[in-house]
Amino acid sequence: MKKHNFSAGPSILPDSVIKQAAAAVLNFDNMDLSLVEVSHRSPQFDAVIKKAQKLVLELAGLEGKGYEVLFLGGGASLQFLMTAYNLLPENGKAGFLDTGTWSKKAIKEADIMGNAVVLASSKDKGYNYIPKNFDIPNDLAYVHVTSNNTIFGTQIKDFPNTSIPLVADMSSDIFSKVLDFSKFDLIYAGAQKNIGASGTTLVIVKKEILDKTGRTIPSMMNYQTHISKDSLFHTPSVFSIYVSMLYMQWVKDLGGVAAMEKINDAKADLLYGEIDNNPNFVGFAAKEDRSPMNVTFTLVDESKKEHFEKLAQEAGIHAFKGHRSVGGYRASIYNAMPIESVQALVNVMKAL
């Protein structure tokens, strides 16, 4: 029996994507070579990265709107600093919505490059909600938000309306629901949660916001460097980009982001419904801010912990313990998670 994988990342991939990727590792594009030994400058891989870039723009509805698509290394963690390098002038200010661990890390990195201003924070209640109705000063170089908070299980439902460049870390919910992606001037997402395998990071950037800081940017940290070389300034993670291409094609074949949203809503409704109706459990996040990607909850009676986890293990439930800073449980039900796995977890919860 294949386990029901609720890991927060690296996370579940669609079965069809795994099978195609596995086949390519053995023989890529009928070359009698493995995908992992093919040159990143070969015409075969060039076709892969161009298709991946095209799929990003298609799924986001950004074709012909002045956006560039990059696949870079370093994870979202590097983007915390890279966004500041490229968008924040020396002694400039950037505004941040502090909604948890990852936004705190982004604030720390930006503060190295200039002044990171916390516009609002949910720290007062252990990051179990999303701040709303906060002011945005007009002297900021950009505003940074984390769209979905994997550790605490919260998600932004309404993004701020501002004429200031808007930057979003969408690592754990990109292409999971319909959005007006043109509201954002820069989006980044580590692939390993919702669009692929670990090893590459997607960046979508509106080219017109670049080259305005007046600072000298090291080549590897400069978006323009990577744009000019079509993400091939250095050897990229060929395998990871290929898996992301397959994953995004899978989303497109399902009917695109709108179809994906309906599937994700059904999974989230099923699991949150059980949490709310089962007296053994209580949700962590405020109901209006609940994430459909990372469902966080705890036991009401901790004496049932051993029995609950034994039932889960017997049912093949894998990697659903909560983050150490929150405790309890976290079921990550990203795009690739089938509703059958969610039902398996719900069945265990009912049996407690």
149-186 b/e (C-beta count within 10 Å ≥ 16 → b): bbbbbbbbeebbeeebbbbbbbbbbbbbbebebeebbb
pLDDT for the residue 325 = 85
Identify whether residues 178 and 307 lie together within a single domain.
no
Note whether residue 128 is domain-resident.
Answer: yes
Note whether residue 9 is domain-resident.
Answer: no
**Helix boundaries (H) for 128-173:** none
Of 228, 254, 280, at which residue does a domain stop?
254
User: What confidence tens digit (pLDDT) does each residue in 107-139 have?
Assistant: 999 999 999 999 999 999 999 999 999 999 999
Q: CA triplet 62, 68, 72: central angle to 5 degrees?
A: 125
**Helix boundaries (H) for 27-155:** 43-60, 75-87, 101-113
Tally of domains in the chain: 2
pLDDT for the residue 225 = 97
Identify whether residues 283 and 165 lie together within a single domain.
no
Q: Enumerate the β-bridge partners of residue 145.
A: 168
Q: Which domain holds residue 50?
A: 15-254
pTM of the predicted structure, to 2 decimals: 0.97
Identify whether residues 176 and 305 lie together within a single domain.
no
Q: CA triplet 216, 219, 223: central angle to 5 degrees?
A: 90
Identify whether residues 275 and 241 lie together within a single domain.
no
Identify whether residues 236 and 329 lie together within a single domain.
no
- The tokens describing 198, both together, are 């670990």
Note whether residue 7 is domain-resident.
Answer: no
Q: Name residues whose C-beta falls within 8 Å of residue 111's C-beta, 6 or more positions apart in sequence.
A: none
pLDDT for the residue 181 = 98
Catalytic residues: 102, 169, 193
Note whether residue 5 is domain-resident.
Answer: no
Identify whether residues 64 and 128 lie together within a single domain.
yes
Collect the ranges in the chain with pLDDT lower than 70: 1
pLDDT for the residue 1 = 61
